Chains A and B, each alone.
Chain A
């Protein structure tokens, strides 16, 4: 499942953060990365298709990460997409909220490429199991 050509969508309103995530993904060999600055833009990009994996920040204007996650899960065409939530908070209620909304993973800022790799591996593992 972890095809290096798979297309990631990195959603964050802070462009420096998008760049950080993009660099980390690149370090892990994923070079096909698109960006969106909030949930609304992300939904537009997602509905035009071609995205295999969503990595989203939580706290954004217009449409937050959790709203985006819910919108993805509620959309038949996208509901299968893995969504990794990024947040600066390790607050329990956030984590629970993300899990209930159907997040595939949750990662706390700041993180290293190694941590990201672990998280991705776990998500891929789960997806492989599901599809198997």
Chain B
């Protein structure tokens, strides 16, 4: 290609599109294992490799072309029924997709991929040669008829045009006479000069692929001139850039971009209207009509801006299916290595989620799936004994619930045993005897999120290192999400991840301590109530209030922040998180707002999730309640007297 600069752009496109394609192929391979004779499936997989090969050719990724070509040939034989899928063959094919993926990784780093593992290539060649099913039958019937004229046409000289065959000669050969296969041969040989080597391999050669003929096929498929090889070894400096580009690029439906464009146009029009009104008003025009028009324009702008925010947010939304796609393969490989029969079921793949979240969710979900396959589901014979179907189901589903995305990883295995979990935690010294005795089922399940907790008695290869689940929870919490466990013994376990729709905009409640406002996530707020001193009771040394029959501890915002408490708090905000509910005692509140979060990347004080700017320009901290609560420990407990400042005189004295 003359301009390689243009190719780098293409490379990114190719990697994204081909990456999706490859994930699709991976999943179809898992399906193929169950239905090895599914012709449409075989065709789709064939086309996947074929398409990747075609694109790779333009990127001069010769080794990628070689690998895809071999695999594609294999599928060609599978779909014509010439070969049958065998487990060994499938393993080689899965090995090929893994190799293709690692080659994508090389390309992404700006390197031309090296040749695939020789053993893998050899395996595929063996499979192609029909080594496992005996020598392959001759080419399928339809190929036989055109083979003759083709053989003749193949002797047409390629001349100095190395890019594929000389079309005109072929065209002539075929169309110059009656287009029945037989008659063609004669005019061709008469028409054309002395035969030369054409880089199209003989049909027969392809059937028992030797190293040599495979190379020839590749040469034929690639059809490159020696001078066409620019040696794309990737400039060392381009590497980081390539990575960054990949991370930052996103595919957006053009209709969504059009919507953004429309809205920004509308906003421009409304701005013009406002500019005109401003001149009017500055010129002393302030009759009701003008004011009414101003009011109208501002409300319209309000509406448009929030629409625009939504539309822009939507451009970041991606179907979660892209993430889900890679899991069936992982589950299959793991189940196979553990001798289990697991079917992975995906649901709600079309659910959309913020792109950054997709990336950050990838590892936690892998961990949950590994856990489900490794610890969750039983071996086939165990299942039989319990009267369950041999094949276990691991389900991964996503759905939108209100302003949250819920992702559930569930299995139909043996469930979790709260008693065993408590015993284990006790044994590891993670909890005290007393704690163990007072724990309910849900709290017991949550023990697995403690750092250093692992229920597997022996550390297995795949999971059970005890470093996973706490990291899973930390990662999910970083996304402002929560994770919950539901488990029934003998029936299975579900991990329920709940995430906000987007990380960019957070609805907050503005609460004040003295004059200073703070923002707390609205998602945690259940209600706001006044704190009446006579309703505050002391229970076990801490101030509590009874709200609709529920005894809730009161935590003052001042103590959470480590500020001195100067006034008796007037309001309480009933906060609810996955772990607990409590009443946050505040002085007053300043309303709610859709905060556009500015993160404090380099400087992040504990307990602060970020900052936002209010309509009046004031900067407000957004509090991370979970972090504040955990960092405060027991200090946050206030007695009734402390809360209501009844001892003030005494303590001052």
Q: Which residues of A are in contact with B by a Cβ distance under 8 Å?
A: 13-17, 19-20, 23, 27, 57, 59-61, 88-93, 95-97, 99-100, 102-103, 105-113, 115, 118-119, 122
Contact = CB atoms under 8 A, between A and B. Distances in A.
A92 B147 contact: yes
Contact of B146 (A20, A59, A96, A115): A96
B149 A96 contact: yes
B54 A14 contact: yes
Given A27-B2, A59-B50, A100 B163 contact: no
B234 interface: no
A16 B13 contact: yes
Contacts, number: 125
B481 interface: no
A107 B170 CA distance: 12
Contacts of B21: 14
A91 B13 CA distance: 28
B164 A99 contact: no
A15 B17 contact: yes
A104 to B, nearest CB: 8
Contacts of B165: 90, 92, 95, 106, 108
B579 interface: no
Nearest to B142: A93
B2 A90 contact: no
A70 to B, nearest CB: 13
B224 interface: yes
Interface of B: 1-3, 6, 10, 13-14, 17-18, 21, 44, 47, 50-51, 53-55, 57-58, 60, 143, 146-147, 149-151, 153-154, 161, 163-165, 167-168, 170-171, 173-175, 179, 199-200, 203, 220-224, 228
A92 B2 contact: no
A88 B200 contact: no
A106 B53 contact: no
Given A88-B57, A90-B220, A19 B10 contact: yes
Contacts of A17: 51, 54-55, 58
B13 A15 contact: yes
Given A91-B200, A112-B2, A106 B223 contact: no
B13 A97 contact: no
Given A16-B18, A108-B164, A110-B222, A92 B200 contact: yes
Nearest to A100: B179
Contact of B54 (A19, A88, A100): A88
A119 B17 CA distance: 28
- 9 nearest CB pairs, A to B: A92-B150, A108-B164, A110-B57, A99-B174, A110-B58, A88-B54, A93-B146, A106-B167, A96-B146
Contacts of B203: 92-93
Contacts of B179: 100
Nearest to A108: B164
23 contacts: A14-B54, A16-B14, A16-B17, A17-B55, A19-B13, A20-B58, A23-B10, A90-B164, A92-B147, A92-B153, A93-B203, A95-B167, A99-B173, A100-B174, A106-B170, A106-B171, A108-B221, A108-B223, A109-B221, A111-B223, A115-B161, A115-B163, A118-B161
